[in-house]
Amino acid sequence: MNNKRKELIVSAISNGTVIDHIPANKLFQVIRILDLEKSDKEVYFGTNLESKKYGRKGIIKISEKYFESSETDKIALVAPTATLIEIKDYEVTKKTTVNIPDTIERIAKCFNPNCVTNKEQVPTKFKVIKINGEIKLACHYCEKNTSQSNMVFN
Amino acid sequence: MKNRSLISINDYSKEEIMQVLELAAEFEKKPHQNLLHGRVIASLFFEPSTRTRLSFESAIQKLGGNVIGFSSAATSSVQKGESLKDTILTVCNYSDLIVMRHPVDGSARFASEVASVPIINAGDGANQHPTQCLLDLYSIKKTQGTLENLEVTFVGDLKYGRTVHSLVIALCHFNTKFHLVSPVELKLPSAVKRHIKEANLQYEQYTDFSEVIPKSDIIYMTRIQRERFPDPLEYEKVKNAYILDNGMLDYARENCKILHPLPRVNEISTNVDDNPKAYYFEQALNGVYVRQALIAAILGLK
Ligand SMILES: [Zn+2]
């Protein structure tokens, strides 16, 4: 890819955030957890794009939107390789990689229907663990592990 | 342990486990001690479990304490739709310690976070039942003289049996060698096996029961429930493969003991009951001493 085209992909929005390096098969899950279907901002996405580092990647561009840490935590859980690029006035102002948090509170649901967090008014609390390379959420209450494919966010 | 809730066996270190077991041995020698004079213990059984409830209430009364509470949700304000949090906060006003059994996973942990008095978990759904685990450990130690370096065989439903999961995890402190006997559908979950691997211990899995009997210091039997099999034919195939009969014990070690969390259905033939290796009824009695020890330790009376 030449530099001009690269620039185009990243800076096609004047203000907002580009989420780059999303594993191609996680793109739609990222769209879902960020609730972008309901966004009234301009949203562009692409998938199965070539990436030197990751083979095939997905990319999302959202106008007029800068993410809070609770949202980047969610992105990190399903797309740990993602990069966030903040754009102001067509310029890249900030570039960060997402960090997988050690614990997460409130933002995710426990997959166990009989968990107290799904039965009473109890905010969820998880330890983020890695088993054989896969990220899982270990519930502080029912002690069950929610795997990536079962992750549902609030 | 003082003033700390016991929710999961993982909350206790090896040293704390040993402390409870030593204290339980004291109570076995001298069960009637008036340590709880004037204290009130709440026994909240949001689902019925007569066996566990009677064991706790017997432990409390042998210590001279008073029991308040309910034996099923039907007789409590829960039926009127009260939240768990409100019930716990109310009961804290009237008691020094709460023993609770609840059908929802994680309910005991949540209760311990809102309560101003310590909680002992007497079973939260399919999750934890730490006092059962401690009484199992006590029974093993008492019959074998030690918990270290034993070969322990688990038989039956290793997938859903929470008592099996907790006991396997607790035994990882004691250099146990595990023999796991079950139908393929009911193998020990990998999350539990991970604890064995992390402790660098050995386990072997079998579908055939008889070959492990001569290798076992303890045989821990569990019930295989019909509901666990989506296909009734599969249940019919395995239901008789994991029944312990007296004749099978001819090849057992001299020191071998049979444990079972009870109630049993048919997985141990009644002809085993009179065999000196059968230990499941004494095992239940040990529960009273272990619960006395826990209550005394948590209230700081010992
Ligand atoms: Zn949970």
Domains and CATH numbers, chain A: 2-97 (3.30.70.140), 103-153 (2.30.30.20)
Q: What would the pLDDT profile of B251-270 be if each residue is shown by its tens digit?
A: 999 999 999 999 898 999 99
Longest dimension (CA), chain B: 56
**H or E segment at A137?**
strand A134-139
pLDDT band at B74; cut points 50, 70, 90: confident
| Cross-chain Cβ contact A141/B194 below 8 Å | no
> Cα of B50 to ligand 1 centre, how many Å?
27
| Cross-chain Cβ contact A120/B194 below 8 Å | no
- Partner residues linked to B196 by β-bridges: none
Q: What is the pLDDT along chain A (154 residues), one digit of tens a residue?
A: 455 555 555 457 899 999 999 999 899 989 988 989 899 999 999 989 888 877 899 999 999 999 998 899 989 998 999 999 999 998 999 999 999 999 999 989 999 999 999 999 999 999 999 888 889 999 999 999 999 888 888 7
In terms of Cα–Cα distance, which of B288, B285, B293, B296 is closest to B56?
B288
pLDDT over threshold 80, residue B52: yes
Contact between B152 and B176 under an 8 Å Cβ cutoff? The reply is: yes
Least confident stretch, A77-81, B12-16, B32-36, B230-234: B230-234
Q: Is the bond leading into B263 cis (omega within 30 degrees of zero)?
A: yes
Instruction: Give the predicted TM-score (pTM) of the model.
Output: 0.87
Q: Which residue in the list B4, B51, B195, B302 is annotated as catalytic?
A: B51
Q: What would the pLDDT profile of B89-143 be if each residue is shown by its tens digit?
A: 999 999 999 999 999 999 999 999 999 999 999 999 999 999 999 999 999 999 9
Q: Write out chain A residues lying below 8 Å of B87, CB-based.
A: none
Instruction: Summarize the confidence of residues B144-169 as an average pLDDT.
Output: 95
B220/B264 Cα distance (integer angstroms): 12
Contact map slice: B 154-193 vs A, CB within 8 A = 191
pLDDT over threshold 60, residue B38: yes
With CA atoms as reference, the chain B residue closest to A117 would be: B106
| Cross-chain Cβ contact A142/B125 below 8 Å | yes
Residue A75 is predicted with a pLDDT of 93
Q: How far is A96 from chain B (nearest CA, A)?
A: 34
User: Is B126's Cβ below 8 Å from some Cβ in A?
Assistant: yes
| Cross-chain Cβ contact A142/B110 below 8 Å | no
B111/B126 Cα distance (integer angstroms): 16
Q: What is the mean pLDDT of chain B?
A: 94
Place of tokens 């570039």: A95
Measured between CB atoms, which of A121, A142, A145 is closest to B127? Answer: A142
Interface predicted TM-score of the whole assembly (ipTM), two decimals: 0.90
Domains of chain B: 9-129+287-298 (3.40.50.1370), 131-284 (3.40.50.1370)
Measured between CB atoms, which of A119, A139, A143 is closest to B104? Answer: A119
| Cross-chain Cβ contact A120/B85 below 8 Å | yes
Residue A4 is predicted with a pLDDT of 56
Q: How far is A124 from chain B (nearest CA, A)?
A: 10
Residue B221 is predicted with a pLDDT of 97
| Cross-chain Cβ contact B85/A131 below 8 Å | no
Residue B241 is predicted with a pLDDT of 85
pLDDT band at B302; cut points 50, 70, 90: confident
Residue A3 is predicted with a pLDDT of 55
User: SS3 of B159, please?
Assistant: coil
- CB-neighbour burial class of residue B240 (10 A; exposed 0-12, middle 13-18, buried 19+): exposed
| Cross-chain Cβ contact A121/B128 below 8 Å | no
Strands B203-206 and B177-181: parallel
Contact between B187 and B179 under an 8 Å Cβ cutoff? The reply is: no
Size of interface A-B (CB pairs under 8 A): 51
Instruction: Summarize the confidence of residues B12-22 as an average pLDDT.
Output: 97
Q: Write out chain B residues lying below 8 Å of A119, CB-based.
A: 104, 107
B268/B79 Cα distance (integer angstroms): 38
User: Is B128's Cβ below 8 Å from some Cβ in A?
Assistant: yes
Active site residue B52: yes
Active site residue B109: no
Residue A1 is predicted with a pLDDT of 46
User: Is B47's Cβ below 8 Å from some Cβ in A?
Assistant: no
Active site residue B30: no
